[in-house]
Structure 1
Amino acid sequence: MSKIFKYLSRAPIFGLVLFVILTTVTTISAFAEFSFQIIIGIGNVPNISINDLPDYSVLLYTDEPFAAVYIDGKYAGNTDSFGRIVVRFDAEGYHSVWILTSNKYAMYDRIVFYVEKQPKIVYIPSTRLGEVTVFSNVYPVYVYSSKGVLYGVVKKDGEKVLAPVGLQELVFSSPGFEDIRQNLNIQYGKEVPVWLKFSPLPFNLELVVSEKFSPNGDWNEDECVIKIYSSRPASGSIQIINSSGIIVYEKPLKIDAGTTQLKWDGKGYPDGVYTVRVLLSDGLTTIQKEAKTVLDTSVYTYAKEITIAFILLFTGLITYLALTGK
């Protein structure tokens, strides 16, 4: 039995299949079942007394008039001219609320609140935004906060991204170039231009391949995974060479900065040690990297047969439950 579980754990798709099964069987709603009633909406009086509201009522208070309110993903209504809406639930429980407004300079995060029998106020503050207009010597430009939150991608001169108001340190990034950091004073609804001149990164290249693989059709390590890490866009070629120095596989390459993943199935080639050779140039510098992998078809794990049997068993169980109504 322990050997069977060992084979199962090594099957590439078994984890995915098991995840889908467990998710299907165990998923339940994160929030309480509910019904709600809009008590106060558009055009109501300025003053609302919590003491006058029915049990299980929540006054949702935003800073945006006539904004759409979604509770647990369901549309609940719009705020009034003062940015308020009162919702009455039928029981205690946790719920989520999200505000959607036509004001592009206001953004809301989803928040979770708890409904009690005693009426309460839930404040939902917005994040106020301003515009950052980018002019750069290269594109695309990715605009991040200092904490790594992506605000947007600029693809040409004069395009804008929205960023929170206040003194912000923004990080501007473009693949193959050094990041630029700038402090900008973002104002609500206003446009702040920024001019960028990126400097190229040094050309660096790394190569990582599977230490061994087994192209025998058992769904376990059937391919050699080849990962190329490049600091800049580059072009060149990849070769796979057997132990006698003969090139058994060759392909031209054109990659972007970052990680490029390739696979070699090795089918039809004898067991042995193979060398993966990558030769790339960024137009100024040429780099060659090599790594070795072992092709070994001698071990058959039966992972394919076990996975297929498991899927058929599960499908049969679901069909039986559906037909019997259990």
Structure 2
Amino acid sequence: MKKIFTIIISITLLAGVFAQFSFQIIIGFGNTPTPNIDSLGDYSVIIYTGEPFATVYIDEVFAGKTDAFGKLVVQFSSEGYHTVWVVSSNQSVIYEKIIFKVEKQPKYVYVFGTGLGKLTVFSNVYPVYVYTLDGKGAGVIEKRGDSLLVPTGNYKIRLESPGYETLESQVSIAYAKETPIWVEFKPLPFNLELIVKPEKFSPNGDWKDDECYIKIYSSRSAEGTLQITDFSGKIVLEKSLTVKPGTTEIKWDGGGNKDGTYTVSVLLSDGISQVEKKANVIIDTSTYTYTKEITLTFLTVFLAIMGYLIYTSIK
């Protein structure tokens, strides 16, 4: 005689934007078949994954594991929308969170997983960023021998490494198998740009244009110096720089220097070539805007009004 064990768990919660609800999870162990859908009560659903003993979450709350047939019966108290997320015990399968609607009539909710394989990238440089051609990021290969879990299939991928030309490769990912590829990146030309904004600033403490921002755009990792000189050629600021591909931003408050035109110079080397860029910036403290006083007054009045409203609401 077969033994049938049934566990009924009642849960009540308030889940994000979903209404308050309660549900029961009916789990069959061993070779116990899932109850026939016609025999289930109102507002019941059968979560079907096809994978035995997968972990199921309803609205981010643990709901149980599927039975030997890949099913889990959940009974709700009313109609409504809910989320289901399945976590596989097999690292080669991944499930996406889906939204489903509970209705009075019992129904199936199908949640199917996506098979995964491993992609291993051998490269002359790291890290390597891997993207599918629709722009989705697959992940980052940090060092030699690292792998990524990628959905099975045949498709092109895009590979990027900062400071190097972008590559594309055709891959065929098989379920639960490791696919190695070999790539060689070519360095981008060393390009450098220098922008200073605003071109005129007034470090006079009025909270308007009190600082300028020195933006350095580099196509490659590089090292060098930043130097700011006044109208007579005197160095008023000098510092070492290490930049990565992309944008590096440096803030300068004028350092108590006099009004006038200053020259910002950036000299960087990527180890192969050296590039220098210059830009001018003007310090002019002659105009005081009272932006600080206006802002502080407005903030004081606002806080006073809010304090008064809170005080009157709790009296």
Change in Cα spacing, 1:307 to 1:201, as seen in structure 2 (3 Å) is: farther
Partner of 2:70: 83
Deviation at 1:45?
Answer: 3.5
Pick closer, same or farther for the CA change 1:47–1:102 going to 2, 3 Å. Answer: closer
Measured on the aligned residues, the alpha-carbon RMSD in Å equals 2.8
- Provide the rounded CA distance (Å) in 2 between the counterparts of 1:307 and 1:41: 65
Aligned partner (choices 27, 36, 41) of residue 49 of structure 1: 36
Higher helix proportion (structure 1 or 2): 1
Whole-angstrom distance in 1 between the partners of 2:85 and 2:100 = 11
Provide the rounded CA distance (Å) in 2 between the counterparts of 1:71 and 1:310. 48
Give me the whole-angstrom Cα distance separating, in 1, the residues matched to 2:31 and 2:305: 56
What code does the residue aligned with 1:176 have?
G
1:33–1:251: structure 2 CA closer, same or farther, 3 Å change rule? same
- Which of 198, 219, 241 aligns to 1:253? It is 241
Report the Cα offset of residue 131 of structure 1. 0.4
- The verdict on how the C-alpha distance between 1:257 and 1:187 changes in structure 2, with shifts beyond 3 A counting, is same
Q: Distance in 2 between matches of 1:318 and 1:125?
A: 53
Q: Does the C-alpha gap of structure 1 residues 37 and 264 become closer, same or farther in structure 2, counting only changes over 3 Å?
A: same
For 1:241 and 1:128, locate their aligned partners in 2 and report how far apart those are by CA, in whole Å: 61
- Could you tell me which residue of structure 1 aligns to residue 227 of structure 2? 239
Partners of 2:309 and 2:265 in 1: how far apart? Answer: 49
1:276 to 264, 275, 278: 264
The 1:96/1:242 distance shift into structure 2, 3 A limit, reads farther
Structure 2 equivalent of residue 160 of structure 1: 147
Q: Does 1:185 align with 2:172?
A: yes
Q: For the structure 1 residues 268 and 67, does the alpha-carbon distance in structure 2 shift closer, same or farther, using more than 3 Å as the test? A: same
Q: Are 1:99 and 2:86 matched, yes or no?
A: yes
Determine if the alignment matches structure 1 residue 300 to structure 2 residue 280. no
1 CA distance for matches of 2:282 and 2:42? 70
Amino acid at match of 1:241: T
Note if contact 2:44-2:75 (Cα within 8 Å) is conserved in structure 1: yes
Contact kept? 2:28, 2:34, Cα under 8 Å:
no
Which of 83, 91, 105 matches 1:118? 105
Q: Post-superposition shift, 1:308?
A: 4.9
C-alpha separation in 2, matches of 1:310 and 1:115: 51
Greater alpha carbon shift after TM alignment, 169-178 vs 241-250 = 241-250
Within 1, Cα distance between the matches of 2:308 and 2:177?
A: 60
1:281 and 1:287 in contact (8 A); partners too:
yes
Secondary structure of 1:99's partner?
strand
Highest RCO, 1 vs 2 (Cα 8 Å, sep ≥ 6)? 1
Distance verdict in 2 for CA 1:263–1:77, change over 3 Å: same
Matched residue type, 2:238: E
Shift of 1:189: 0.4
How far, CA to CA, are the matches of 1:318 and 1:307 in structure 2? 17
Percent of matched pairs sharing the same residue: 53
SS in 2 for 1:30: coil
Q: Indicate whether 1:228 and 2:219 are aligned.
A: no
- Measure the CA separation in 1 of the matches of 2:44 and 2:209: 57
Instruction: Verify: 1:74 aligned to 2:74, yes or no.
Output: no
Shift of 1:240: 2.3
Structure 1 residues 163 and 33, CA, compared in 2 at 3 Å: closer, same or farther?
Answer: same
Answer with 206-215 or 233-242: which moved more: 206-215
Question: Is structure 2 residue 119 aligned with structure 1 residue 129?
Answer: no
For each residue in 1:177-231, what CA deviation from the matched residue of structure 2 results, as whole angstroms up to 9, or x when unmatched? 1122111110010011111111111111122221244444455544322222211
The question of 1:148 aligning with 2:138 is answered no
Q: Judge conservation of contact 1:42–1:79 (CA < 8 Å) in 2.
A: no
In terms of Rg, which structure is larger?
Answer: 2
Q: 2:21 aligns with which of 21, 26, 34?
A: 34
Instruction: Mark the CA change 1:102 to 1:306 in structure 2 (over 3 Å): closer, same or farther.
Output: farther
TM-score, with length taken from structure 2: 0.83
